[in-house]
Structure 1
Amino acid sequence: MAQKKIGEMSFLDHLEELRWLLIRSAIAILILALASYFFIDYIYSDVLFGPKNPEFITYQFFCDISNYFGFQNSGICNAEMPFIIQNTEMGGQVSFMIWTCITVGFIMGFPIILWEIWKFISPALYDKEKKHAVLFIFVSSVLFFVGVLFGYFIITPLSVYFFGSFSASPEIVNEFNLESYTGMIKTSVLACGLIFELPILIYFLTKLGLVTPIILRKYRKYTLIIVLILSAIITPPDIISQIIVAIPIMILYEISIIMSAVVLKNQLKNA
C-alpha cells in the first residue's frame, strides 16, 4: 500500500505510524541485545569493569598529559580504586545482565532507530531534503558513537576515579551497589551519545523556528560556565583535565551555531 502524504494523514494515522516505528525499533534492539549475550563475558570484564582498573587507558593518558604540563603530583597518576562492587538483590545479577544486553542493543541499533525516525518525518520534508537521508543517518550515527566513546573513555573513568577514591571519613568504606555502578556508566555513555546529537537537534529546531543563531550566541557564555562547572565536578583537581572534558562540548555548541546560521540563511534565500 502506498504511503499517504503528510497532508492526507489524520492524527490516528500519525499515531499508527509512530506505533510501528516503536515496534520495529524495539525488535531491532532486542535482536542486537540477544546477539550481545554471546559476548557478555567480554562486556563485563573489559568494558563495564574496565574503568575500575587503575591501569585503564584513560588514567594513563591523563597521567601522561599531567606530567607533560608539569603536574607531576597529579593524583590520577597513582589512581587507586579502594572500593568493591556488590549485589544486594536476589535477582540483581539477572536484571543486570538483561539491561546490559538491552543497552548494548540500543547503542548498536541506533542507526536503525534513526532510519525509522527519518521515515516517520520524511513525508513532512521537501523532495530535495529527502535526498539527504543517507547523509542524515551517517552524520547522526557518527556523532552518537563519538559521544558514546567520549562518555566511556572520558566521563566514565573520571567519574569512577572521583567517586571511587573520595572518602569523607576513614571510617566509611566504599561498597557500591551493582546497579549504582552500572547505572552511572550507562547514564554517562548514553547521555554523552545524545548530547553529541546537539547539531542535528539544532538543525531541526531552527527549521521549526524555535531556535536562531542569535539566541545561541546570546547564551554561549552561560553554556560555557555550566560546562566548566560540570567538568570541575567530574574531573581530577587540575585545569588540564577540565579543559579536555569541556573543549569537545563547546566545539559541538559552536558547530550548532554554524548549523543554525546555515539553515536560517537557506530559509531566507528560499522565502
Structure 2
Amino acid sequence: MAQRSEEVTARGEEHEMTFLDHLEILRWHILRSAIAIVVFTILAMANKEIVFHDIILGPSRTDFFTYRKLCEIGAAINSSGLCIDKLDFTLQSRELASQFTMHLTSSAVIGLILGFPYLFWEIWRFIKPGLYPNEQKNSRGAVFFVSFLFLLGALFGYFIVSPLSINFLASYQVDPSIANEFDLASYVGTLVTLVLSCGIMFELPMIVFFLSRAGIVTPELMKLYRRHAIVVIAFVAAILSPPDVLSMTLMGIPLLLLYEVSIHISWMVRRQDIARLNREASVS
C-alpha cells in the first residue's frame, strides 16, 4: 500500500488515486518515521550515562569541548579572558519524577535529531510523486541538504550557542549573596530549545530555494525587505533564545548570515531558470 503513490503507467503518469488512498499512504510514511524515531529514542535511553553525563550535562562542566578550545585560543593569543575555567552553578532536581522525566525528554529529543534525515526522507517520498518531472529534477538532493543543514544547525546550537549562553546565565548575578542553583528541568529545557531552534533556523536557505523555484521569492524582493527581515530575525531570536542579550546575538548573527546566503541562492535559482528557458527557446 505504501508504494502505490510511486506506481506509474508506461507513459510515466501516476495511477489515479482517491483522497483516502493518499491518506493511507501518508499514514504508513508517518508510521515508519515514528518507528525510526522511537528506535533512536530507546537507544538513547539505554545509554543513559553517555546521553546525560557526556551530552546533556557536557556544557555544564569546564572540560567541555568548547570551553577547552576557548582556553587553547586564549593561551595562543595571550588572552586569559577567553578561558572559562569555572562555572559557578549547581543543578538540582526538586521534583520526585524530574530526573526520570528529563531522561525521557532528552532521549526523545536525541531520537528526533538522529531520526530527522529518515523522517524527511519519508515525507519527501510522499511529496515527490506529485511533482512534475522538471520539479523532481530541480529538487534533486533535497533530502541531503535539508538533513545536512538541520544537523549542522543542531551542532552549532550545541557547541556554540548553548555553552556560551549557559556560561553567561550561570555567571550572571544581581548580588553576590544569591547562589545560582538551577532546576534540572530548566537546564535541559534551555539546552533543548537552543539546539532545536538552531537546527530549524538553519533550514532558511532550503526554504528560500524552494520558494524561489516556485516563483514566490525573488532576490530583488529579499534585498528590498532586508531591513524588515533584520527586525523579524531579532524578534525570532528573542523568542527562541533565553532572555539575555548574548543568546539573542548568538542566534541572530547566524540568521543574518543565512539570510544573505539565501539571497545568493535565490540569484542562483534565477540564473538557472533563465538558462533553462533559453535552452527551451533555442530547441523550439
**Whose Rg is larger?**
2
Q: Which has the higher contact order (CA 8 A, sep 6+)?
A: 1
Contact 1:31 1:105 in 2 (8 A): yes
Q: Which residue of 2 is the match for residue 26 of structure 1?
A: 34
* 2:254 is the alignment partner of 1:233: no
Give the partner amino acid of 2:114.
M
Report if the CA contact (8 A) 1:51-1:156 is conserved: yes
Secondary structure, aligned partner of 1:109: helix
- Alignment-derived partner of residue 61 in structure 1: 69
From 111, 116, 133, the equivalent of 1:110 is: 116
Give the whole-Å Cα distance in 2 for the aligned partners of 1:265 and 1:17. 36
Report what 1:258 is aligned to.
264
| In structure 1, distance between residues paired with 2:44 and 2:138 | 31
Check 1:34–1:165 CA distance in 2 against 1; reply closer, same or farther (3 A cut): same
Q: Identity, % of aligned pairs?
A: 38
Aligned residue number for residue 45 of structure 1: 53
Residue 147 (structure 1) aligned with residue 153 (structure 2):
yes
Question: In the alignment, what sits opposite 1:182?
Answer: 188
Please give the per-residue CA displacement for 1:27-75, whole angstroms capped at 9, x wherever unaligned.
11001111222322011111111111123222233345566667x363x
Separation in 2 of the partners of 1:97 and 1:36? 9
- State the TM-score, normalizing by the size of structure 1: 0.82
Deviations 1:100-130 (A, max 9, x none): 1111111111110110121122123222443
Look up the equivalent residue of 2:38 and give its one-letter code: L
Using a 3 Å threshold, how does the CA distance of structure 1 residues 198 and 7 change in structure 2: closer, same or farther?
Answer: farther
Aligned-pair RMSD on alpha carbons? Answer: 3.2
Q: Which amino acid aligns with 2:60?
A: K
Moved more, 203-212 or 34-43: 203-212
CA distance in 1, matches of 2:66, 2:142: 31
Listed one character per residue, the Cα deviations across residues 131-183 of structure 1 (whole Å, up to 9, x for unaligned) are: 57762222222211111111011000011001110011223221111111011
Gaps of 5+ in 2: 8-12
* Structure 2 partner of 1:238: none
When normalised by structure 2's length, the TM-score is: 0.78
More displaced stretch, 22-31 vs 179-188: 22-31
Aligned to 1:239: none
Write the distance in 1 (CA, Å) between the matches of 2:122 and 2:95: 37
Q: 1:210 aligns with which of 216, 222, 230?
A: 216
What are the ranges of 5 or more consecutive residues in structure 1 without an aligned counterpart? 236-241
